[in-house]
Amino acid sequence: MSITVILIGVFISAVDMLIVNIAFPSMLESFPTASLTGLSWVMSAYAITFAALLLPSGRWADRSGRKRIFLLGLGLFTAVSAVCAAAPSLEVLVAFRALQGVGAALMAPSSLGLLLGLFAPERRGIAVGLWTAVGGVGSAAALPLGGLLAQIDWRWVFVVNLPLGTAALLIGAWSLHRSATEDGPLPDLLGIAVLAASVAAIVATIAQGQAWGWGSAQVIGLSVVGVIGLVYSVRRALRHPAPVIEPALLRIRTVALGNVATGFFFMGVGAMAMSTILFLTQVWKHSTLRGALEIAPGPVAAALFAVPSGILAVRYGVRLIGLAGGVAFAAGGIWWTFALEGTPDFGAHFLPGSIIGGIGFGVILPALAAAATLSLPPKRAATGTAMASVSRQLGMAIGVAVVAAVLSGAPHLSSYRIAFMVMAGAGLASGLALFAVGPVRRQVPADTGGHSKPEHTTQAATR
């Protein structure tokens, strides 16, 4: 039951990042005076608070206990979903979407740490596979699921969270075990605030850059604020006794490259998510529901391959598994680049790319999670997961922004081909970054005092 509770939280927070996109036409019927730019804040408000608070909440979960923070986030997320579903105006919806992002940011970092604690060290490949499969499939399934729910009413994309979240909250309060808490000085509160504001400024710039204009005062101003804030955060982390992110974590080669690979890969995912649904509905003129269903085989293929890949990534190392997944994901984008034409042919032209890319999606996700988290000390599992999640959100926001720029105006078939090549290039870059990773040395408790030591890593892990 504990595993199910954790995975429900992972799934609904991942789905809600993209599910509202496909409900925009239905939202316009409820808010007829709203512009597309205004509607875009329904997605951006969630993305900004989610990304900005991941690192602080991960640090908080490591210090105060992952069960407590996970359930707090799940309860907030579920309650706010009810308000979003009943929102009487666009302004109310945007405000509570931002609050929903806060709940998701509390859940995400603590979830993997809780899940790993339910598995013996030698079986943690299964945990990584499950976590990445559910989160990745949640992101990939958001469009088809949203397409189905939006046929009823856009409010159902939020209503669906209520029974899942409520059941998970009640069962989790009873079944989840408390994790150890951490003694020591309080985390750097000023550093947390500056880092959160800096990440929020950068995500807002990326998410709204197309609407505001890339040379506008808002984009330039927020970009400057974000960069200065990040530089200040790094300098402060080097000097503070309890920084929000310890520099030592980023000196771990596998963790650093794992986060780089995650950013590249989800840039490709963002490019894929936006370009495919627009291609199906604008070039092939399929309905939104039909387009959403035509995307579904990719997430199914990803789900089938993620858990086996997680076991292989932990047992044999992430290098070849990650490279294979990145190449397969890139191959899906390359297939679409050269196979798709203006004349619809789903079975021969779209479906093969979806299956190939979905397999790559499922294969690489556990390798990304293993590289970014398994070399961390157990007491930093939530912090490390938060770092990877920030890389994921920034990468996806960049991918969406790049494709939005490429497809702006009156896009032609050549524009979509460029978008699919962005997907392919990002997937290949991710696979190459993982191939550069050395052995993933899992950290296990050395004694009851909570100290850590590297677990034995076989020669296979270097392959």
Q: Is the pLDDT of residue 441 over 60?
A: no
- pTM value is 0.81
pLDDT-based confidence at 456, cuts 50/70/90?
Answer: very low
Helix (H) or strand (E) holding 444: strand 443-445
Are 160 and 257 part of one and the same domain? yes
Tokens of 379: 């007491």
Q: Is the pLDDT of residue 355 over 90?
A: yes
Domain range for residue 322? Answer: 2-177+244-462
Kindly report, residue by residue over 181-236, the tens digit of the pLDDT: 555 566 788 888 888 889 888 888 887 787 788 889 999 999 999 999 999 988 88
Are 107 and 215 part of one and the same domain? no
d(CA 260, CA 271): 17
- Bridge partner residues of 279 (DSSP): none
Kindly report, residue by residue over 142-193, the tens digit of the pLDDT: 877 888 888 888 999 999 999 999 999 999 988 887 765 555 566 788 888 8
| Torsion of the alpha carbons at 263, 49, 245 and 436, rounded to the nearest 10 | -10
d(CA 270, CA 62): 29
Residue 182 lies in a domain: no
Residue 183 lies in a domain: no
Tokens of 326: 């990145």
Are 201 and 346 part of one and the same domain? no
Overall domain count for the chain:
2
Residue 222 lies in a domain: yes
Looking at 243, 261, 289, the residue that finishes a domain is: 243
Residue 210 lies in a domain: yes
Are 238 and 291 part of one and the same domain? no
Q: Is the pLDDT of residue 453 over 60?
A: no
- Bridge partner residues of 460 (DSSP): none
Mean pLDDT value of segment 22-41? 80
| Cα–Cα–Cα angle for 53, 242, 173, rounded to 5 degrees | 50
Residue 270 lies in a domain: yes
Q: Which of 102-111, 120-129, 260-269 holds the top average pLDDT?
A: 260-269
Are 258 and 225 part of one and the same domain? no
One-letter amino acid at 74 equals: L
pLDDT-based confidence at 452, cuts 50/70/90?
Answer: very low
Whole-number pLDDT of residue 366: 87
Are 359 and 409 part of one and the same domain? yes
Residue 136's CATH number:
1.20.1250.20
Per the document, the length of the chain is 463
